[in-house]
Amino acid sequence: MDELKIRILNHLPDTAKVIAVSIELIDDLPSSYLSLQKSCCERFYAEDYSECIEKSKPLLDYLWEKLNTGNWKDVNMTWREAYYLVSILKGSSQAILATDNRAEEKNTHSIADAIKTFDMGLLMGAPILNNVLTKLVQDVHTCLEKIEVSEKKSELTSRYIDNDKSVHNDANQLMNKKLKTDTEIYKVIEEEIKIKIDKNKEIKRVSCPSLEYFSATFKDNGTPVIITNAINHWPALSTRQWSLDYIRLKAGFRTVPIEIGSKYTEDNWTQKLMTINDFIDKFILGSQNQTGYLAQHQLFDQVPELRNDIVIPDYCCLGNSEDVDINAWFGPKGTISPLHHDPKHNFLVQVVGSKYIRLYSSTENSMLYPHDTFLLENTSQVDAENPDLVKFPLFNEALFSEAVLRPGEMLYMPPKYWHFIKSLHVSFSVSFWWE
Ligand SMILES: O=C(O)CCC(=O)C(=O)O
């Protein structure tokens, strides 16, 4: 697999450039740190990868402390850039050693470890050197994909040779059937789980309106709407339909933040970093008694291959289309986003599974009891599913609209529109916030 080493080295600038960048990161870093960082760079370019990894550990530990002290927004950019740089060196060394058949350390480093190191650099660091980590991690993940696919093929072949038909009952295959983007199937399941939408309150659906019609009728009036037949061309819904297997293939070894707990307003709610494979195994296929949700994460900046499967809705050009925040929302049945509002226009696109949506206009504010703390002032204190009417007596008087959002549908929410959202199946949605 020298091929991977060549690809990695091709992405990286030469020694002198990296050392120069490393020396520029002088702000607020002690000289002992800087000399160790320089020596870590030198070991990398001397192809002494195991020594480079050894030297990277105290550097990353030191920076980790710095990054986790105080408020994230106040963290010194130099520390984040240094974290990014050392992650490049450590992750590249791990990947090279893991794929070098001659290296004695081969067995102690895995490609999955390298991907984790790169992702930590992407999540915690600040990009330098043309954001080279995104290219490195993509190449290394592709290399792992190839190994996985060939191992899976040989596993399947040997299972067929054993004449073991149980391969067809593989849990993933069952899940993939459930993830079919077939609206009829979802309607049946909704009936089974007794979701009854009051027709008088149902959010209006419009089939692929023109920009002018959408703008005049919905955007300018601050009226929510579900747009149908506008995104059928997305690869995620057509040529490269998203399924658990597909997501594992493209991003299974990537590390992402997972929200754990029934909702972010609960005291026991927390966040953990884990790979998408672990998240799927534990929280989607497994029987965890806690809910895990990959929520509001800029997954598509992290995994450009998945970004290629989606398209920014044309309607976003009514705002500044250069500045659209795209977030992934991937989780099991039963994830809840408590009643809250956001400052921007939003298209919430349903790719897999369906979600119950309930909306309130800001005219209802006084009956929705927003929290009075700064961090939660956009969130209602009321549990929309089981409101405590003694504490919040006006809640049931607030007017709302509701719907079940199905695959291929796109919900438009004007800025400051209150929304409560609950997934009815394993679900993957993509939101586009724009101004
Ligand atoms: O789908 C969800 O769970 C929440 C989505 C949301 O709150 C948003 O897009 O602003």
Nearest residue (by CA) to ligand 1, atom 9, is 431
Residue 196's pLDDT is 84
For residue 170, pLDDT beyond 50: no
Last residue of a domain, one of 146, 162, 193: 146
Q: Which atom of ligand 1 is nearest to the CA of 427?
A: 1
Please indicate, yes or no, if residue 300 is contained in any of the structural domains: yes
pLDDT at residue 18, as a whole number: 75
Give CA separation, 93 vs 87, 90, 120, 252, 314, in Å.
10, 5, 15, 21, 42
Q: Is the pLDDT of residue 187 over 90?
A: no
pLDDT of residue 346: 98
pLDDT of residue 183: 56
47 token code pair: 């192809």
**Distance separating the N- and C-terminal Cα atoms of the chain:** 46
Q: Is the CB of 347 under 6 A from ligand 1?
A: no
Question: Which pLDDT score is estimated for 171?
Answer: 36
Distance (angstroms) between ligand 1 centre and the Cα of 259 equals 13
* pLDDT of amino acid 172: 40
Q: What is the pLDDT of residue 184?
A: 54
| CB 431 less than 6 A from any atom of ligand 1 | yes
Assign 188 a pLDDT band (cuts: 50, 70, 90): low
Same domain, 189 and 134: no
Q: Does 421 sit in the ligand 1 pocket, CB within 6 Å? A: yes
Confidence of residue 19 (pLDDT cuts 50, 70, 90): confident
Residue 351 CA to chain centroid, in angstroms? 14
Question: Are both 257 and 362 inside the same structural domain?
Answer: yes
What CATH number is attached to the domain comprising 308? Answer: 2.60.120.650
Q: How far, in Å, from the CA of 138 to the mean position of ligand 1? A: 28
Same domain, 363 and 222: yes
Place 157 in a pLDDT band, splitting at 50, 70 and 90: very low
Question: What confidence tier does 2 reach under pLDDT thresholds 50, 70, 90?
Answer: confident
From the CB of residue 268, how many other CB atoms can be counted at a distance below 10 Å? Answer: 8
b/e 345-368 (16+ beta carbons within 10 angstroms → b): bbbbbbbbbbbbbbbbbeebeebb
Domain shared by 234 and 348, yes or no: yes
The pTM of this model reads: 0.87
Q: For ligand 1, say whether the CB of 350 is within 6 Å of any of its atoms.
A: no
> Per residue in 344-375, pLDDT tens?
999 999 999 999 999 999 999 999 999 998 88
427 lines ligand 1 (CB under 6 A): no
Token output for 10: 């091709």
* Average pLDDT of the segment spanning 114-134: 95
Residues 223 and 302 in one domain: yes
Express each pLDDT in 23-69 by its tens digit.
776 667 888 998 999 999 999 999 999 999 999 999 999 999 999 99
Instruction: Determine phi and psi for 101, rounding to 5 degrees.
Output: -65, -20
Co-location of 232 and 122 in the same domain: no
What's the farthest any 2 CA atoms get from each other in the chain?
Answer: 72
Same domain for 323 and 263: yes
Which pLDDT belongs to residue 267? 83
Cβ atoms of residues 339 and 368 within 8 Å: yes
Provide the pLDDT for residue 145: 76
Is residue 192 scored above 90 in pLDDT?
Answer: no
pLDDT at 105 (0 to 100): 53
Mean pLDDT of 72-88: 92
* pLDDT(15) > 70: yes
Read off the tokens for 427: 């679900």
Residue 149 in this model has a pLDDT that exceeds 60: yes
Identify whether the C-beta of residue 354 lies closer than 8 Å to the C-beta of residue 427: yes
Per-residue pLDDT at 168: 29
- Bridge pairing between strands 270-275 and 410-413: unpaired
Residues 122 and 213 occupy one common structural domain: no
CB atoms within 10 A of CB 413: 23
Smallest CA separation from ligand 1 atom 10, residue: 342
Percent of the chain with pLDDT strictly greater than 70: 86
What rounded mean pLDDT belongs to the chain? Answer: 88
Q: What is the pLDDT of residue 150?
A: 62
- Please state the domain count of the chain: 2
Q: What is the pLDDT of residue 108?
A: 66
For 220-276, write each residue's pLDDT tens digit: 999 999 999 999 999 999 999 999 999 999 999 999 999 999 888 888 899 999 999
**Is the residue at 154 inside a domain?**
no
Residue 206 neighbours by CB under 8 Å, 6+ apart: 213, 214, 218, 225, 226, 227, 228
- Same-domain status, 215 and 141: no
Residue 208 · residue 227 · CB < 8 Å: yes
pLDDT above 90 for 3: no
**Token pair listed for 266:** 């609960």
Task: Kindly report, residue by residue over 263-321, the tens digit of the pLDDT.
Answer: 888 888 999 999 999 999 999 999 888 999 999 999 999 999 999 999 999 999 999 87
> What is the Cα–Cα distance from 142 to 250, expressed in whole angstroms?
8
Answer whether residue 174 is part of any domain.
no
Residue 157 located in a structural domain = no
The pLDDT tens digits for 306-324 are: 999 999 999 999 998 778 9
Q: 276: closest CA among 250, 237, 309?
A: 250
Q: Which structural domain range is residue 123 located in?
A: 2-146
Which of 97, 122, 146 is a domain's end point?
Answer: 146
Q: Is 261 a domain residue? A: yes
| Banded model confidence at residue 193, pLDDT cuts 50, 70, 90 | low
